[in-house]
Structure 1
Amino acid sequence: MDDLFKVAPTPPLAEALRPQNLDQVIGQSHLLGAGKPLRLAFESGRPHSMILWGPPGVGKTTLARLTANAFACEFIALSAVFSGVKDIRAAMEQAEQYLAQGKHTILFVDEIHRFNKAQQDALLPYAESGLVTFIGATTENPSFEVNSALLSRAQVYVLQSLTEDELKLLVTRAQSQVLAHLQFDPAAIDTLVGYADGDARRLLNLLEQTSSAAAGVGTTEITPEFIQNALTLNARRFDKGGDNFYDQISALHKSVRGSNPDAALYWLCRMLDGGADAKYLSRRIVRMAWEDIGIADPRAMQIANDAATTYERLGSPEGELALGQAVIYLAIAAKSNAGYNAFNQAMEFIKQDKSREVPVHLRNAPTKLMKELGYGHAYRYAHDEPEAYAAGETYLPDGIPDPHWYEPVPRGLEIKIADKLAHLRSLDAAAKKSKK
């Protein structure tokens, strides 16, 4: 009798619209289109272990569930955030029971990158034995986050953020199936799609919030203004410690190196808007000045350091302006990696070379014994030489020819530096010739 009074909970919109077959999936056409890898995998008649790698809200869980449906398998889902080895073993015991009933099991591990090595290793014997078909989902690069042993036993599929057109198609589906009572202004749909930022789940949650807000005030007309006033809109998708973060840092650095101030500003502001640590960004900007500009324009280093100091003093948002102007200057400055290359080459040489003695004429001689041993003998004091340069003098240990690690580029201040070095080398050549 009690069941008569129970009311079934209304599923969230994202769950109500979850695709029931591959043809209902929106997006991922590069994997699910005719003749594409995942479509062929579904058509093969046999499930295989896989890792679905992509940003949030692109269908990783949906595809895992569809795999179980397509192959008539039982579906066991674990979250790596809340599960451990004990949960894995319990899932395997359940899978053995299913097997005894003649049923195969799909084991789905969400956020597999959050499992440590021991937990990932615990999955191996069961995946190898065929007791379960393993499907992992991750937002992080599996090359770094998944054990090589587990990675070698699973096919990696890369999922992509949904396009604006695909998200609009999802809105149309939601309207036709659940939200037919609402009238969306086309600009309102554009607003929702923009805030969804390629994330289908986020779009559906925004639609659900919109529906609730509209019901609360008794309206069916949805405009951009209504959305702005009614919804709490979070920052764009941005994982402060994941691949998305480092991809955007890479894009900022490459934009500066490529002398494109607009692109550099775009990536800087994109990260600031997403909640990136501005202090970290300021450190990276200083690094860019030293790596990609160097001595070609020493002012770039000063401006980068001044911007970092300014941010420390002012904080957000005022200090962010200094970072923005710094990346503009770095982008338009003359570029040189000559110093960066010279340092790396010197370090590599030192690591591989033997420990060489300091030449005697370069050693300090503060004691009588050291002087008697010849320390500092025949050292030429550069300031007493013509042009303050001891032409022909050697400063490297014996046996090391001039390596020419630092080779100035024909840009910025390094043009003049190259001219000076060429002149000094000509003096060296003349000095050596005169000794013969």
Structure 2
Amino acid sequence: MSAIPLAERMRPTTLEEYIGQSHILGEGTGLRKTISSGNIPSMIFWGPPGVGKTTLAQIIANTVDRPFYSLSAINSGVKDIREIIDKVNSQGLFGGSNAILFIDEIHRFSKSQQDSLLGAVEKGIITLIGATTENPSFEVISALLSRCQVYTLKSHSVEELTELLNRAIEKDAELKKYKVQLKETSALFKISGGDARKMLNGLEMVISQIGGAEVEITDKAVTSVLQQNIARYDKDGEQHYDIISAFIKSIRGSDPNAALYWLARMVEGGEDPKFIARRLIISASEDIGLANPNALMMANAAFDAINKIGWPEGRIVLAQATVYLASSPKGNGSYMAIKKAQAVVQQTGNLPVPLHLRNAPTKLMKDLGYGEDYKYSHDGANNFVNQEFMPDEIVGTNFFDAGSSKKEQEIAQTIKNLWGDKYE
């Protein structure tokens, strides 16, 4: 096998070769039009590992024929940034102007490192393309974020992963030396977690381990080879996502001991404490929610404390919050409710706001009936007046289904006491 990994050999160089992200790259989409125009703004690609963030940045640079510089936030600092900016400045009109600077894992840059980019971005010396697996709203300073267009990249679908596999088998010069048959792909997809880079390199490892002129890819073969080589297979650090997943699922499963183990793994591995704290906040709402509203307060307090004290004492704060959340009663009523409400909005579109709920700041609006017949809830007994708050098309639609927790059952009973059978 080649010393160059399969994923690198199969990296596309044009938009026509690029698989996935049709929601931002399909014909007629904003980013596709932007690339075609050649007028590229600074942007940030946000998405999980192996979905093509780096590749897309390189394709954009190739398409618009701009100088392309690349840094990884893991091993780069202000000095590296300034060297590139100085180099671009020194070239001036001789090809350096408006170069593209790609920064992988930009969320790992400190505030001062991100600040060092601002001047060059504002003056148009460089066009910044950042890649991050973390929500840029949390990790990118507001001054820089306001100057960037954020694009969310999605995990590959099974169909896209299958297309990537077949393309590699059919077109890669090294794999064409074998007669490869894809009998089963479930294990390869599962172990790679939807990460195309991980999947392709895993495929190459399986083929090289099995050997022979004819190779059958089965779930058993994939599991046998990749589980034995998991440390080498995960050398780029993607296991970070597996461990945080195990951590959150242990909390969800009410096992504080398991949650503490996975927390310790992250602490010992040098994980960013704010990353852990943010996941605790999400878990407090998604998995506990109304069953124990104090869980969100605890998680948010842990995040604030981490910002104040950092490592190593921060691990104690995280441990306290972890045990509290894992030991709390669980409920996902509010999480499921917003999912249902979003699904209805997606299906029904922008339904008109009922006239009696509309604001009426002008005489014309009042004449049109805006706000008419609205009943002020505090005028009623127990601060409640029975009136309609939903658009006519979805009157009576129930979003909140109480779980088995005591608090959610109490909320459901309150709704029933107020509204009777309306939301059953």
Which range, TM-score by smaller chain? 0.5 to 0.7
Q: 1:129 Cα shift?
A: 1.0
| Structure 1 residue 227 corresponds to structure 2 residue 227 | no
Q: Secondary structure at the match of 1:42?
A: helix
Q: 1:97 Cα shift?
A: 3.5
Q: 1:227 Cα shift?
A: 1.6
8 A contact 2:280–2:322 mirrored in 1: no
The structure 1 residue matched to 2:190, chosen from 170, 186, 194, is 194
Q: Secondary structure at the match of 1:137?
A: strand
Taking a change above 3 Å as real, the CA distance of residues 289 and 67 of structure 1, as seen in their structure-2 partners, is: closer
Name the TM-score, length of structure 1 as normaliser. Answer: 0.57
The structure 2 residue matched to 1:33, chosen from 20, 26, 48, is 26
Q: Gaps spanning 5+ residues in structure 1: where? A: 1-7, 260-276, 293-329, 339-407, 416-436
Identity across matched positions, percent: 40
8 A contact 1:96–1:131 mirrored in 2: yes
1:201-232 deviations in Å (ceiling 9; x for gaps) = 111111121122123x6752332222222223
Identify the residue that residue 128 of structure 1 maps to in structure 2. Answer: 122
CA RMSD of aligned residues (A): 3.5
Identify the residue that residue 242 of structure 2 maps to in structure 1. Answer: 238
AA aligned opposite 1:230: V
1:66-89 deviations in Å (ceiling 9; x for gaps) = 111011111110111111111111
1:213-258 deviations in Å (ceiling 9; x for gaps) = 123x675233222222222346694363677995697468545558
Taking a change above 3 Å as real, the CA distance of residues 193 and 61 of structure 1, as seen in their structure-2 partners, is: same
Identify the residue that residue 139 of structure 2 maps to in structure 1. Answer: 145
Q: Gaps spanning 5+ residues in structure 2: where? A: 245-271, 292-317, 334-401, 418-424
Q: 1:278 Cα shift?
A: 9.4
Larger displacement relative to structure 2 (110-119 or 247-256): 247-256
Structure 2 counterparts to residues 67-216 of structure 1, below 5 A: 67-104=60-97, 105-178=99-172, 179-180=175-176, 181-187=178-184, 189-215=185-211
Distance in structure 2 (CA, Å) of the matches to 1:71 and 1:199 = 27
Aligned length: 281
8 A contact 1:27–1:162 mirrored in 2: yes
8 A contact 1:258–1:331 mirrored in 2: no
Name the TM-score, length of structure 2 as normaliser. Answer: 0.59
1:314-348 deviations in Å (ceiling 9; x for gaps) = xxxxxxxxxxxxxxxx952333498xxxxxxxxxx
AA aligned opposite 1:225: K
Distance in structure 2 (CA, Å) of the matches to 1:202 and 1:290 = 34
Distance in structure 2 (CA, Å) of the matches to 1:45 and 1:155 = 15
Identify the residue that residue 5 of structure 2 maps to in structure 1. Answer: 12
Q: Secondary structure at the match of 1:78?
A: strand
| Structure 1 residue 49 corresponds to structure 2 residue 121 | no
AA aligned opposite 1:206: G
Structure 2 counterparts to residues 53-64 of structure 1, below 5 A: 53-64=46-57
AA aligned opposite 2:154: Q
Q: Secondary structure at the match of 1:135?
A: strand
Distance in structure 2 (CA, Å) of the matches to 1:121 and 1:337 = 49
Taking a change above 3 Å as real, the CA distance of residues 291 and 55 of structure 1, as seen in their structure-2 partners, is: closer
Distance in structure 2 (CA, Å) of the matches to 1:56 and 1:290 = 30
Q: Which has the larger radius of gyration?
A: 1
AA aligned opposite 1:285: A
